[in-house]
Amino acid sequence: MDELIIAGRSFRSRLMVGTGKFSSNAQMAATIAASGGEIVTVALRRVNVGDQQDDLLNHIDRSKYLLLPNTSGARDAEEAVRLARLARAAGCDPWIKLEVTPDPYYLLPDPIETLKAAEILVKEGFIVLPYINADPVLAKHLQEVGVATVMPLGAPIGTNKGLRTRDNIAIIIEQAIVPVVVDAGLGAPSHAAEAMELGADAVMVNTAMAVAGNTEMMAAAFGKAVEAGRMAYLAGLGKEQKQAVASSPLTGFLRDEK
């Protein structure tokens, strides 16, 4: 069977799902269920003392989903490492989606600090899934220090622009020895399918589901699109042709052939 394997663990779904921006925990839970995803990301934040909310984790069945905490908010390696350790202390498996984003406007990842944090976290036994710009040489460095996947962005987070970094991602995939997960910017199922057709091992989606008119239907749409893209990759896509090629026969017309 065609499974996604990350750090020795198998997953049937190739769609990772974020839990941010939903209007309620119930909506979040219904959406991740509809997506078919098995890996769900969460963020770590200070508890709101005195404002007891419904805890997110009450809505995520951890026997079904791998909880993947991220280090969102970290502006450098030190902050990211601190968040990763806290996530582990809070009872998570030592999986961490490593995000280091010093820039508050475009939230783009820092290649230098990400590599630095990855090296530390791998040594501490974490399964590290770093979020990166689509830089093939950085992806290699990260693989050399032992990350479990690389997660290049398709476009800046939340922009819905799709696979704007397509050429660089194709090179990352070609050279990768770990799964490549396209993260950020995928705004429509067709974008997710395109990434999978290109040979990505998985994709990660949050915003496009959370802002949809119908979040569950959109999640199911992404689920199907990821499967479609994966199957097309396995089935072998045809090449682009410059000139038309008829699909109906070019002989046997109702006229004398020349």
Which residue of 16, 29, 129, 135 would you call a contact of a second copy, by CB under 8 A? 135
Footprint of other proteins on 205-244 (CB under 8 A) = 206-207
Let me know: does 3 contact 230? Beta carbons within 8 Å.
Answer: no
- Among the listed ranges 8-16, 54-62, 121-129, 249-257, the one in contact with a second copy (CB under 8 A) is 249-257
Among 14, 15, 22, 98, binds other proteins (CB under 8 A): 22
Contacting residues for 213 by C-beta, under 8 A, at least 6 apart: none
The strand order across the sheet containing 127-132 reads 95-98, 127-132, 151-152
- Interacting partner of 239 out of a second copy, other proteins, none (Cβ under 5 to 8 A depending on kind): a second copy
Q: Applying CB under 8 A, does 119 fall inside the site for a second copy?
A: no
Strands 202-205 and 181-183 come out as: parallel
- Regarding 213 and contact with a second copy (CB under 8 A), the answer is yes
User: Quick one: which of 72, 81, 126, 127 contacts a second copy (CB under 8 A)?
Assistant: 72
> Does 224 participate in catalysis according to the annotation?
no
CB of 206 to other proteins, least distance (A): 3
Residue from 1, 8, 23, 45 touching a second copy (CB under 8 A): that is 45
Please report which residue ranges of 94-165 form alpha helices under DSSP H. 111-123, 136-145
Per CB under 8 A, does 161 bind other proteins?
no
Torsion angle, alpha carbons of 228, 181, 208, 238, to 10: -30
- Identify what 22 binds: other proteins, a second copy, none; CB under 5 to 8 Å per kind: other proteins
Q: Does the protein bind a second copy through residue 52 (CB under 8 A)?
A: no
Contact between 128 and 139 (Cβ < 8 Å): no
Cα–Cα distances (Å) from 223 to 11, 30, 77, 83, 173, in that order, read 14, 14, 33, 30, 21
> Rounded to the nearest whole angstrom, what is the least distance from the CB of residue 124 to a second copy in the complex?
18
Distance of CA 107 to the CA centre of its chain: 16
Q: Which residues are catalytic?
A: 97
